[in-house]
Amino acid sequence: MSWITEYVRPKLRGLLRREVPDNLWTTCESCNQMLLSKELRKAQNVCPHCGHHMRALVADRLKWTFDNGVFSRIELPQAPVDPLGFRDQKKYTDRLKDARAKSHEDESLAVAHGTIGGHPAVVAVMAFEFMAGTMGAAFGERFVAAARLAILQKSPLVVFTASGGARMQEGVISLMQMPRTTVAVQMLRDAGLPYIVVLTNPTTGGVTASFAMLGDVQIGEPNALIGFAGPRVIEDTVREKLPPGFQRSEYLLDHGMLDMVVARKNIPAALARVIGLLTRAPADVTAPPPPKKAEPARAAE
């Protein structure tokens, strides 16, 4: 019996035991439906049951936006790492190291260039996975670099926002990025180049109060939270119940703060159409021609 217990049984258990990856399943935060992660990635992180748009990584966002997923990321300028020597429960420098290790991003903004619907474009994507997409001195440097690249290439600048606002570890320096990014947007206007903003969930704080609401065309993903302060803070301040859907993209569309709300899978086509209209560029020759409308039958004379 000892031979069976000590040798055969462990062998059988080893054969029957299967390693299950931790990231095999994902739970939708809206409908609580269990989703196979592989299928969710194919659906661009949109729940197939309720249509909820989950957060997207920078690498995925760039791949979905550019034609055939082909783009070139640019090397971006560096900024002082810890200008205030800030420390709370951890050193700010340690928080940055942890964020870089977990997100595989250097900062909260990535910039790339390529084509969208055949139109050259510069795209800047905020990385919510990096310290909640917060805005600091390095972010401001990168945003200005994106605007200068767009001017150099005479291309529109498209920005995808996802942020918790200014980065508290940099104090007033982070707040100074609000006027700095606003000046960069004005540089694009002076050059006569389109500036398009795609607001995703969530876009809040100083980001909303600056460059995120200055687009020539404002596009929102469905049900994205967009605002300066959160709904709970506003309710506690005004002591009133907020209307349903307050600060969501559909509510802002109804009240004139957005130009359109577009599902994630349709954003590249919407961007291509908007860029074509704003730059008066010819349509992509590879796109299928629109169907011809049937001519009405003429009455016999």
Known binding-site residues equal 28, 31, 47, 50
Q: Which residues are annotated as a binding site for Zn(2+)?
A: 28, 31, 47, 50
Length of the chain as a residue count: 301
Contact 199, 249 (CB under 8 A): yes
Say if residues 52 and 71 touch (Cβ distance below 8 Å): no
State the sign of the Cα–Cα–Cα–Cα dihedral 76, 80, 85, 86. negative
The region that residue 7 occupies, defined by phi over 0 for left and psi between -120 and 50 for alpha, beta otherwise, is alpha
Which residues are bridge partners to 122 per DSSP? 113, 157
Return the SS3 of 91: strand
d(CA 264, CA 270): 10
Cα dihedral across residues 277, 281, 282, 283: positive or negative: negative
Distance of CA 87 to the CA centre of its chain: 29
Burial track 153-168 (b if 16+ CB lie within 10 A, e otherwise): eebbbbbbbbbbbbbe
The distance in angstroms from the start CA to the end CA of the chain is: 104
Q: How many CB atoms lie within 10 A of CB 78?
A: 12
Q: Would you list the DSSP string of 167-194?
A: -GGGHHHHHTHHHHHHHHHHHHHHTT--
Amino acid at the residue 155: S
CA distance 156 to 277: 12
